[in-house]
Amino acid sequence: MLKITICDDDVKAADQLRWEVVSFFRSEGVEDLNVSVFNSPVQMLRELNGERRDIYLLDVLMPGMNGIELGHRLRAAGDEGLIIYLTSSTEYALESYDVSAFQYLTKPVESEKLHDVLRRAVSITQEERLRGVIVRSNSGDAFLPFSQLTYAELKNRSVCYYTSDGRVIQGMTIRSAFRDACAELLRDRRFTIVGASWCVNLSLITSIDKSAVNFKGGGCLAPSRRAVEELRTKWLEYWLES
């Protein structure tokens, strides 16, 4: 399912945009679609409650919390959904790059331009869903998308994979070094080795305190203090480079 969220304090504009988005995707043959509409950033954050969406269509100039601040809140929570800003002002165009916005469009947006941006956004989203690792286990093979894989851990000569929805999949016994067993993960810049037995997904970390690393979905690791500090540096570098 393709999940899209619209946030605009102008009720009429938000409803019109929803109609435009739904009509476009239906014309493209996309039926498995969920489009949610909110009229304030606070309402959106409260009702989504950490649920990730594939694409966000956000107004910039909104009372209380503007769209750029909303984007920062999403990124701080580890949300990598594509953000498309639609606004009547170009004032915040440069700031939109701070949240790695996919596109900044000025209103009124021509339908053809919006459709082109949506096509490209969906293409990227679909490519992302295909990026992952196949884990071989005693119960069979399982495909784990990188967008859901929080970390891998070496346990008793096998690698256990933990996901953001609470699943734990234990792979087969390995005969190579842990780093070599995680080679497919490490080819993706989101993953890095921590200590001797963890490979973590930087994009799914929600917070790092003095002694623990917390992930989307509630997962938690407690490496050594030195490892935590090294990971904190890598985490910050990841988001700066993003």
Name the domain boundary from 129, 147, 164: 129
Q: What is the pLDDT of residue 219?
A: 85
Is residue 240 a contact partner of residue 217, using CB atoms and an 8 Å limit? no
Same domain, 93 and 121: yes
Domain count, the chain: 2
At 39-94, the pLDDT tens digits run: 999 999 999 998 889 999 999 999 999 999 999 999 887 788 999 999 887 776 67
Same domain, 171 and 192: yes
- The mean predicted confidence, pLDDT, of the chain is 90
pTM listed for this prediction: 0.66
Same domain, 124 and 136: no
DSSP string, the chain: -EEEEEE-S-HHHHHHHHHHHHHHHHHTT--SEEEEEESSHHHHHHHHTT---SEEEEES--SSS-HHHHHHHHHHTT---EEEEEES--TTTTGGGGGT-SEEEESSPPHHHHHHHHHHHHHHHHHHHT-EEEEEETTEEEEEETTTEEEEEEETTEEEEEETTS-EEEEEE--S-HHHHTHHHHTSTTEEEETTTEEEEGGGEEEE-SS-EEETTS-EE---HHHHHHHHHHHHHHHHH-
Q: What is the pLDDT of residue 120?
A: 94
CATH number of the domain encompassing residue 231: 2.40.50.1020
Domain residues for 154?
Answer: 132-241
For the cut 80, the answer to whether the pLDDT of residue 124 exceeds it is: yes
Same domain, 105 and 210: no
Same domain, 178 and 221: yes
Same domain, 14 and 99: yes
Q: What is the pLDDT of residue 68?
A: 92
Is residue 214 a contact partner of residue 205, using CB atoms and an 8 Å limit? yes
Same domain, 89 and 181: no
Name the domain boundary from 112, 129, 146: 129
Name the domain boundary from 108, 129, 150: 129
Same domain, 61 and 119: yes
Q: What is the pLDDT of residue 92?
A: 66
